[in-house]
Amino acid sequence: MNTRILVILQDILDSGHIREHRYHYLKIKFKELLFAIHQHTQLTASPVQKSLSTGLDVLEKIRAHLIFNLDNPANITELSKTFMLNEKKLKEDFKKIYGCTVYAFVIRERMKRAQTLLYKNYNVSELASLLGYHSVSHFIKVFKAFHGCTPKEALNKFQALTAQAKKGGAA
């Protein structure tokens, strides 16, 4: 804490003698105190803290970019150039923050979207195309590895559960 903050706190504590406009005086002093604290924290933030918050902002932008472009996601080299980051640092920081590699993140997001679209009556060929897979068989292989069943099996399970729920609700 710096002396400016201490002086403002002392002014607030010593304001008992002020009768007229005390409310407005204290309101202004509290604003001044908040501003002084803000300035103090910004000026004394270490370069590491500043780079961490900047790094998180960039990683969040990269994450959003990947989600927005699931049909044609950028590779690590393209991401590092676009967002002006070192490739190695990008890989390390992304894994640290999101718990997986960039590639695994893209697969996970594609498979979540695939499942959602599958339940909205998109066929497998449309799903593969919408999610950027050039081969339907490759899409099915990735879907099965991720979900433990093929898209057709997943759709059948979903339809069976939906029919069962409707049947149970009517009874």
* 110: nearest Cα among 79, 134, 139: 139
Asked whether the predicted pLDDT for residue 146 surpasses 90, the reply is: yes
Q: Which CATH fold would you assign to the domain 106-170?
A: Arc Repressor Mutant, subunit A (1.10.10)
The predicted model gives 109-118 an average pLDDT of 93
Rounded to a whole number, what is the distance in angstroms from the first to the last CA of the chain? 68
Give the residue carrying structure tokens 């002392």: 10
Q: Which of 6-15, 49-58, 104-113 shows the lowest mean pLDDT across its residues?
A: 49-58
Residue ranges covered by each domain of the chain: 3-44, 47-99, 106-170
The answer, yes or no, to whether residue 47 has pLDDT greater than 80, is no
Question: Angle 87-98/102-118 helices, nearest 10 degrees?
Answer: 50
- How much is the CA Rg of the chain, to the nearest whole Å? 27
pTM recorded for the entire structure? 0.64
Torsion of the alpha carbons at 111, 56, 94 and 138, rounded to the nearest 10? 20
The residue whose two tokens read 């002006």 is 84
